[in-house]
Amino acid sequence: LDDNGTPLDDPLVQVEHILNNLWERRQGVRALVAGAGSRVFADCLRKTIMSRAAETVPTDPNGPAATMDRSFLLHHIASSFVGMVQWWAWHNFQADKAEVAKDYLSAIQPLFS
């Protein structure tokens, strides 16, 4: 969501926006990723991303995504996102947010073409 609370249309802008929010809270995120609550954090983040993906992924997508069970597709998108956030936190958020967002989308977008 942008500052007005309206959805952002560009996937890159969406991912960068989420990463920026996580980066601003990186100390807490690092603790959540490495601490005893890491599984709970990952599950909550996955569910949130799945919900957002369900709103934005077309019901009849193109490419390989068209042959996938929708529930599986949404789970894959969200789980990959969680893995990316974990990787980023484990590497002390050193990678540039824009590059992390581009890499994530480079892994996901081929499913839709």
Read off the pLDDT of residues 39-68 as tens digits, 9 standing for 90 and up.
888 899 899 999 988 988 999 999 999 999
pLDDT band at 33 (very low <50, low <70, confident <90, very high): confident
pLDDT band at 31 (very low <50, low <70, confident <90, very high): confident
- As a whole number of angstroms, the distance between CA 61 and CA 43 comes to 25
Mean pLDDT of the chain: 88
Q: Helix, strand or coil for residue 47?
A: helix
What pLDDT was estimated at residue 111? 94
- As a whole number of angstroms, the distance between CA 89 and CA 23 comes to 9
- As a whole number of angstroms, the distance between CA 12 and CA 99 comes to 10
More confident residue, 8 or 36: 36
| pLDDT (average), residues 73-82 | 95
More confident residue, 34 or 95: 95
Q: At what angle do helices 38-56 and 26-34 cross, to 10 degrees?
A: 120
What pLDDT was estimated at residue 4? 55
